[in-house]
Copies of this chain bind each other. A is one copy, B any other.
Amino acid sequence: MSKGPWLDEGEQQAWRSYLLMKRTLETHLERHLQREFGLSGSDFEILVNLSESESGRMRAFELGRSTQWEKSRLSHHLTRMEKRGLIRKEACDARYPEIVITEEGLAAIKECAPAHAARVREFFVDVFGPERLGVLGEVSDEIVATIGKHCATDCPPEVRGTA
């Protein structure tokens, strides 16, 4: 089934098109958030996670699992967001404080969400169209499952992300 490690010309082309699209879209969405709402892509990601959690609060390790960021990146970023009043840390447990979205953080995410959704629609959803978008969703789930299965059996902790 597999043709060995190297990609043939068509595969290579598709992989590069995907990489360029991923980067172009990400950069474009992040620059708009920054310019119009003063939020970085990282701020946005943390705020979305917290605002969609049941109580507006999560443990740092849950945020880490969800964002897949390294611990030090997460910890530094949360400290910066706390200084800006977007989140606060509540020490229910001395070692594992809860991260809570503030009124200000909630207002920030509510303010930018419609404009962000409009851009995702214009540059991604509408370009795909319903049929191709459905296929992408399916393959994406398959890829996540394939990597998950591989990591459950074959990956050392530092690749699984549990180190």
Binding site for B on A (CB under 8 A): 1-3, 5-7, 10-11, 13-15, 17-18, 20-25, 27-28, 31-32, 34-35, 67-68, 114-115, 117-118, 120-128, 130, 132-144, 146-148, 150-151, 156, 158-159, 161
Contacts and interface: CB of A to CB of B under 8 A. Distances in A.
The complex is assembled from copies of this chain, and their number is: 2
Given A123-B147, A146-B123, A17 B137 contact: yes
A35 B151 CA distance: 14
B31 A136 contact: no
Contacts of A136: 14, 17-18, 136, 139
A154 B46 CA distance: 29
A122 B120 CA distance: 29
B35 A159 contact: yes
Given A14-B136, A14-B137, A139-B132, A24 B144 contact: yes
A31 B114 contact: no
A28 B159 contact: yes
Given A5-B117, A27-B161, A136-B139, 8 more contacts: A5-B118, A17-B137, A18-B124, A21-B139, A28-B159, A31-B161, A35-B158, A132-B135
Contact of A7 (B3, B117, B135, B139): B117
Contacts of A7: 117, 120-121, 125
